[in-house]
Structure 1
Amino acid sequence: MQNIDIRQLRYFLAVANERSFTRAAEQLHMTQPPLSQRIQELEVSLGLTLFERGTRPLKLTEAGKLLYERASMVMRGMQQLQVSMQNLAARKSPRFVFGLVPSTLYARLPEVIRQFREIVPQVEIGVTEMGTEEQMAALKDRRIDIGFDRIVVEDPGIRHVLARNEPLVVAVAKDHPLALQGAPVELARLCREPLIFYPSEPRPSFADLVLSAFVSHGLMPDQIQEVRELQTGLVMVAAGVGACIVPQSVRHHGRGDVAFIDIAEPISAPLLMRFRQGDTAPELRQLLTLLARLYEQWGWPIPTELARMRAASDAAVSGHVP
């Protein structure tokens, strides 16, 4: 099977929408024979018939219906991409984009982003959800400027800074026996519970961190069910389907039908910042300075590397080299 190009999809969609080769050719400003030939070439390439040619108007085959659905999505995506590029070309203000994995969304990041917007009102702030590997690629392609994640992926062009080690807790239904006993639960006890892990993909992810916590204590859960999102996991917890290990910060944004219990063993998940090695953008420097100040307000210990970076940033602003 040969690759399908955008022009072939455009020809196919025109015929499918018009239900006529003649009208589609007029719309495309071409004659009918070349259009018919292009569609036949597409069918040969796919090894599938796309139109029932004995009918008037033309009807799509099952293969044609599937291609129409997917091709329409591709073309809408191309149109959106074109609009985005046009907007970028017309934009005069700078842009700073955060990339976040879902498990970091509760770790006070909304507050960080809100205050960052206040100190850089001239900058357009973007926030996008993306997994570990996608963050790495997006940083290199300059589609994002900073990523918040749980997983370190070694790369000489990317710098990782440990922002915080966040304790993990277990979420159970409010009437679950573990919630009613009101005491920290041991990992060995949790192994006997149906456990809900998230996200199921992409990997590596927060789910791998949780599983490694069990393995490091010589344990393996009896029953694991994976879901794509944290919110799905919490809904299942509330329904009594199982228990879900989550970052401690989730308990402050929880549901009324879910209880959060401490885990007896001290297990945690790192909260990491990643950005391009050697990035000297003033917006990044301002964000790091803001983070250090917020850590002081929250009573959190400022990570050594973050404190060192803030000192270097302050020195750069004042014109002194430390």
Structure 2
Amino acid sequence: MELRHMRYFVAVAEERNFTRAAERLCIAQPPLSRQIQQLEETLGVQLFERNSRPLKLTNSGRFFYSHAVQLLAQTAELESMTRRVGNIERSLSLGFVGSTLYGMLPKIIRRFRDENTTVELSLHEMTTMDQISALKDGRIDIGFGRIRHEDANIRGVVLREERMIVALPVGHPLSVGKPVLALRDLINETLIIFPNAPRPSYADQVLSAFQERTLKPARIYEVRELQIALGLVAAGEGISVVPSSVHGLKRDDVVYRELDDPTLVSPIIMSMRMLDESTDIHEMLELIYRLYEEERIPYIFGELLCYPS
């Protein structure tokens, strides 16, 4: 059995049609059918129910599919890591969600470049879920996102939990005389959430916070990104629950108020390939912890919450 047999099988299993699978693989259908037949003969089992339309996997086929997908992902990771080890010049590619730019990420990038002048650093804005795919494809080496994920090929390290705060238009009644708010105070407002796609995203973290407390905002307005949400807040179209690092984004037309519940947080997660033990990855992680200590920012180390003195 060869890797190409598994690639062909996975394509047919996912397309559930030989013609579409052949188009996806850029090969003719007859050779594809022969390859699947050879695979079944090698394994001694039938992988597809041939009389079903669309194609259905047999029990053996479903078992083989789950393991074939994982093995192909590990193979792609191995190829990517081998290429990287073989590169003469060191390079490191980072993916990040836009909201992390308002926190420590710019300082982390500057410090890493200062301390690692021989490493070529490239940056790519992408959602957390896109980062997972990019890591497995070898397009990035590190991802900074906010969504917890489960993938056998990806290791996620929760760096810290960032408190959520409320963004209000200047002069809003909730911004006067009440320095700390509760989610219950917001339910009669239009809640502006971001991003509207793809999901899951930070928007789901905000909505879950209301749902877990059996609260429901009067109206929900979904927008593409944080800057649009703040612009609409400034225009008086509603309020928004944002990460506390946004407080550093000074605007004359928006005010921020803290929330009274310390469990209202959004994680900052650093993701990398499971097998990647490169020096650059370790140096990046150590640098982040050092900066948190310097800035006296609480962080999580090995699932232990640390409070720098």
Give TM-score scaled by structure 2 length: 0.68
The separation in 2 between residues aligned to 1:119 and 1:192, in whole angstroms, is 50
For 2:252 and 2:218, the matched residues in 1 are separated by: 28
Q: Deviation per CA, 1:94-137, whole angstroms, max 9, x where unpaired?
A: 21111111222212100001101111111111111111221111
2:196 counterpart (197, 200, 211): 200
The CA deviation at 1:171 is: 0.3
Cα distance in 2 between the residues matched to 1:92 and 1:173 = 53
Residue identity in the other structure for 1:298? E
The secondary structure found in structure 1 opposite 2:122 is: strand
**Map of 2:225 onto structure 1:** 229
Alignment pair present for 1:292 and 2:289: yes
Match of 2:98 among 97, 102, 126: 102
Cα 1:208–1:282 shift into 2, 3 Å = same
Shift of residue 302, structure 1, vs aligned partner: 4.3
Contact kept in structure 1, 2:192 and 2:222, CA below 8 Å: yes
Look up the equivalent residue of 1:217 and give its one-letter code.
Answer: R
- Tell me if 1:278 matches 2:247: no
- On the 8 A contact 1:188/1:219 being kept in 2, the answer is yes
Report deviation, 1:296.
1.2
Where do 4+ consecutive residues of structure 1 move more than 6 Å? none
> 2:174 aligned to 162, 173, 178, which one?
178
Q: 1:306 to 1:143 in 2, by over 3 A?
A: farther
- When residues 258 and 306 of structure 1 are mapped into structure 2, their CA distance, relative to the original with a 3 A threshold, is same
SS of 2:289 mapped into structure 1:
helix
Partner of 1:219: 215
8 Å CA contact 1:193, 1:222 repeated in 2:
yes
Q: Which runs of 5+ in 1 are unaligned?
A: 5-87, 308-322
Deviation at 1:278, TM superposition (A): 2.6
Do 2:161 and 2:299's aligned partners in 1 also have CA atoms closer than 8 Å?
A: no
Secondary structure class of the residue paired with 1:181: coil
The AA in structure 1 aligned to 2:301 is T
SS in structure 2 of the partner of residue 220 of structure 1: coil
Give the residue type in structure 1 aligned to 2:95.
G
Asked if 1:119 corresponds to 2:115, the answer is yes
Aligned pair count reads 224
Q: Distance in 2 between matches of 1:220 and 1:103?
A: 25
Counterpart of 2:187 in structure 1 is 191
Report the 3-state secondary structure (helix = DSSP H, G, I; strand = E; otherwise coil) of the residue aligned with 2:181: coil
Shift of 1:217: 0.8
C-alpha displacement at 1:182, in angstroms?
3.3
Q: Aligned partners of 2:248, 2:298: CA distance in 1, in Å?
A: 20
The answer to whether the 8 A contact 1:171-1:244 is kept is yes
Q: 1:220 to 1:306 in 2, by over 3 A?
A: closer
Q: Hey, what's the Cα distance between the residues in 2 that align with 1:162 and 1:203?
A: 20
Counterpart in the other structure of 1:84: none
- What does the per-residue CA deviation read over 1:244-265, in whole Å, with 9 as the maximum and x for residues that have no partner? 1100010111312110011122
Aligned sequence identity (%): 42
Measure, in 1, the Cα distance between the counterparts of 2:298 and 2:266: 16
Q: CA deviation at 1:92?
A: 5.4
What are the ranges of 5 or more consecutive residues in structure 2 without an aligned counterpart? 1-19, 25-83, 305-309
Cα-to-partner distance string for 1:229-276 (whole Å, 9 max, x where unaligned):
100011100000000110001011131211001112221111111111
* Residue matched to 1:69: none
Matching residue of 2:4: none
Contact preservation (8 Å) 2:91, 2:120: yes
Q: Secondary structure at the match of 2:176?
A: helix
Matches of 2:203 and 2:179, distance apart in 1? 24
TM-score, normalising length from structure 1?
Answer: 0.65
> In the alignment, residue 268 of structure 1 is paired with which amino acid?
V
- Greater Cα shift, 136-145 or 102-111: 102-111
- 1:184 touches 1:261 (CA, 8 Å); kept in 2? yes
Counterpart position of 1:264: 260
What secondary structure sits across from 2:94 in the alignment?
A: strand
Matched, 1:157 2:153: yes
Partner of 2:127: 131
- How big is each residue's C-alpha offset from its partner over 1:207-240, in whole Å with a ceiling of 9 and x where there is no partner? 0000001111111111000000100011100000
SS at 2:180 equivalent: coil
Assess if the C-alpha contact under 8 Å between 1:96 and 1:144 holds in 2: yes
CA contact (8 A) 1:292 1:306 kept: no
Change (3 A) 1:192 1:302: closer
* Cα 1:306/1:279, change in 2 over 3 Å: farther
3-state SS, counterpart of residue 288 of structure 2: helix
1:241 lines up with 2:247 in the alignment: no
SS at match of 1:200: coil
Contact in 2 for aligned 1:288/1:306 (Cα 8 Å): no
Larger radius of gyration between Structure 1 and Structure 2: 1
Instruction: Tell me if structure 2 keeps the 8 A contact 1:148–1:272.
Output: yes
